[in-house]
Structure 1
Amino acid sequence: MRVAVIGLGSMGMGAALNLLKAAGLEVCGVDPRETARAEFAAAGGSAVARAADLPEGTEAVLVLVVNAAQAEAALFGPEGAAPRLAPGAVLVVSVTFAPDDARRLAAKAEAAGLLYVDAPVSGGAAGARAGAMTVMASGSEAAMARAKTVLDAVAKKVWHLGEAPGLGSTVKVVHQLLAGVHIAAAAEAMALGIRAGVDPRGLYEVVTGAAGNSWMFENRMPHVLDADETPRSAVDIFVKDLGLVGDLARAVAFPAPLAAQAHQLFVSARAQGHGGVDDAFVIRAYQALSGIRLPGEEGGPSGGTQ
């Protein structure tokens, strides 16, 4: 089976590497960055800069790009994959975007004689590398069956939420409400502790062993303690995703005040020039408000987790 992965970023690379390990798959990665293509080629895959250069007759495409515009261009744009695909090929679109975007792309796929799975994912870069992502999928039985080999290689759990495109994306947007609010709350707690003179590493150890812990606090706050801004998932991602939460909430006349406040904190961090750093550094918004110094900064507290 010829498979393509469009987007060899933090999650796409992990997914592509796991597909390489699956029996019977020929895997081609697509990414405009030469460094990403070289990394994938070094692992034994093939890689091209444009989706239009995929091998003819590709039977499945996993899309892991940033937003709907990138996904649409990669699949149906002038340099998109569609003309290179086999009849009845399946598109597994694992992009966090609005449910309406999923429905629109699914309609384009159907018109082109292609199958479509609305398949946003969770698990981050580590989950992708481990082949342990969670997939929130919706699509026809035929599309799910065609995508099974791909999904089995990259996921520990695939939720089939129904046949209608947009259902997977709706669940992912709701999930991102929790993820974004939890990261903002984790940053707020750490910032308050620092402002109050608490040892940040001690605070981390207490919280992660007590009822106030969350997956996001435990996973993200070590990045702050280690002064490590490397973007596993960037502030800009949650500017986008919490914006999608607000859009969905307005569309169904639902108040979402916690999501709205968290969104503004990520927007604030972005406005300060931190959009491209790890999302844990939404804590910069609290730093600007309170004047605290973070671990690793001159005059800041020690806090390394190592």
Structure 2
Amino acid sequence: MHTIAFAGLGAMGLPMAKNLLVAGHRVRGFDLNPVALTALASAGGEASSDAVAAAQGADVMILMVVNAAQAEQVLFDSGALAAMPDDGIVCLMATCPPAAVERIATRVMATGRRFVDAPVSGGTAGASAASLTVMAACERSTFEAVRPVFEGLGQRIFHVGERAGQGATVKTVNQLLCGVHIAVVAEAFALAAKTGVDLDVLLEIMSGSAAASWMLKDRGPRMLQEEPEVSSAVDIFVKDLGIVLEAGRDAQAALPIAAVAHQMFLATSGRGEGRADDSQVIRSYYALNGKPQQG
């Protein structure tokens, strides 16, 4: 059993923290949302008054926060890192730019503590089902030390490298592919709609053809709904594809297709639809090309 400080009890963080409790770990949660803290306490966890209280005596601190700036605020500005034991392990599991992850890792390791760059994939469904994919970059010995924690969170756990930033890079590539797949499905559907093709029939054909992808089968049906349930918001891909482009600039790698996809998500958000399901990036294609009237 590990004592885990968990910062960030949002849509993914709270179910992740609950799954760690199920796996037998002691979890101290910290979040600015009192409802989330109450939910964790009801599940058997401990609601901490602040990040320092959560970090004291913790073997591992998991950061499932919004961005790198929040991670730095929790670790350094609040004093949580200094409150951890000298051999504590910090796991940054949020999606952050690789360069920012490297910067945070350098500061953490300068104190003698260990750092794991371990973003996850699988969304809220994977967080709830403890079926996340974990992409961890750190020294092998640190990875083995924290593996039991990851096993409480996911089913596909990978050691992707020894250096902080490599895990973030793998997650960045994942988000590049996901965002582009969603956008190109929307583009294809918009073309078909423009010429009057029945999109339900198109989806059935494409789902069984060489053009099929996981994103087509998952997001395609939601593109045919006016107001689908939100499983992942447009604004998430505005952020994540922005990280993709930042990583490309840092690596001096041209990413023209990712840039176009980012613009389509950004346009959707700019019309006030950032909280809509990410499948609704199709609305930007309809705005450009016109959506045929039904019936």
Return closer, same or farther for 1:88/1:281 CA change in 2, 3 Å cut-off: same
Residue number in structure 2 paired with 1:296: none
Shift, 1:144, TM fit: 1.1
Residues in 1 aligned to 2:175 and 2:218: alpha-carbon distance in whole angstroms: 16
Q: CA deviation at 1:179?
A: 1.0
Distance 1:199 1:47 in 2: 52
One-letter amino acid matched to 2:26: E
Q: Which moved more, 1:134-143 or 1:33-42?
A: 33-42
Helix, strand or coil for the counterpart of 1:284? helix
Q: Which residue does 2:284 correspond to in 1?
A: 285
In the alignment, the residues of structure 2 paired with residue 264 and residue 69 of structure 1 have an alpha-carbon distance, to the nearest angstrom, of 24
Residue 165 of structure 2 is aligned to residue 166 of structure 1: yes
**Residues in 1 aligned to 2:111 and 2:250: alpha-carbon distance in whole angstroms:** 29
Kindly report the root-mean-square deviation, in angstroms, between the aligned alpha carbons of the 2 structures.
Answer: 2.0
Aligned residue in 1 for 2:226 = 227
SS of the aligned residue for 1:96 comes to coil
Match of 1:70 in 2: 70
CA distance 1:75–1:227, shift in 2 (3 Å): farther
Rounded to whole Å, the distance in 2 between the matches of 1:274 and 1:19 is: 34
1:32–1:49 contact (8 Å) kept in structure 2: no
Matches within 5 A, 1:1-306: 1-23=2-24, 25-48=25-48, 50-54=50-54, 56-78=56-78, 80-292=79-291
Cα distance in 2 for partners of 1:3, 1:148 equals 13
Relative to 1, partners in 2 of residues 1:192 and 1:34: Cα closer, same or farther, differing over 3 Å? farther
Query: Unaligned regions of 5+ residues in structure 1, if any?
Result: 294-298, 302-306
Deviations 1:197-217 (A, max 9, x none): 233333322222222111112
The separation in 2 between residues aligned to 1:270 and 1:160, in whole angstroms, is 35
User: Using the alignment, how far apart are the partners of 2:42 and 2:195 within structure 1?
Assistant: 49
By how many angstroms is 1:230 displaced?
Answer: 4.3
Shift of 1:115: 0.9
| CA drift at 1:182 | 0.5
Amino acid at match of 1:56: Q
Aligned-pair distance for 1:55? 5.7
CA deviations over 1:111-149 (Å, ceiling 9, x no partner) = 223210001111111111111111111101232122112
Deviation at 1:68, TM superposition (A): 0.7
Q: Distance in 2 between matches of 1:40 and 1:287?
A: 42
For 1:201 and 1:42, locate their aligned partners in 2 and report how far apart those are by CA, in whole Å.
44
User: 3-state DSSP class of the match of 2:88?
Assistant: strand
Q: Indicate how the Cα distance of structure 1 residues 100 and 141 shifts in structure 2: closer, same or farther if over 3 A, else same.
A: same
The one-character-per-residue Cα deviations of 1:199-239 (angstroms, maximum 9, x if unpaired) are: 33333222222221111121223333343454432222211
AA paired with 2:260? Q
Give me the whole-angstrom Cα distance separating, in 2, the residues matched to 1:44 and 1:234.
30
In the alignment, structure 2 segments of 5+ residues that lack a partner are: none
Given the superposition, is the C-alpha separation of residues 194 and 42 from structure 1 closer, same or farther in structure 2, using an over 3 Å criterion? farther
Question: How many angstroms apart in 2 are the aligned matches of 1:63 and 1:139?
Answer: 16
Q: State the SS of the aligned residue for 2:275.
A: coil
TM-score, length basis structure 2? 0.91
Contact 1:269 1:282 in 2 (8 A): yes
Whether the 8 Å CA contact 2:99–2:247 is kept in 1: the answer is no
Q: Distance in 2 between matches of 1:188 and 1:276?
A: 20
Name the % identity. 42
Give the letter for the 2:54 counterpart. Answer: L
Aligned equivalents of 1:123, 1:165: Cα separation in 2: 21
Q: CA deviation at 1:248?
A: 2.2
Q: Is the 8 A contact 1:33 1:49 kept in 2?
A: no
**Alpha-carbon separation, structure 2, partners of 1:134 and 1:17:** 17
Pairs aligned (count): 294
Alpha-carbon distance between aligned partners in 2 of 1:14 and 1:204, rounded to the nearest angstrom: 32
Offset at 1:195?
2.9
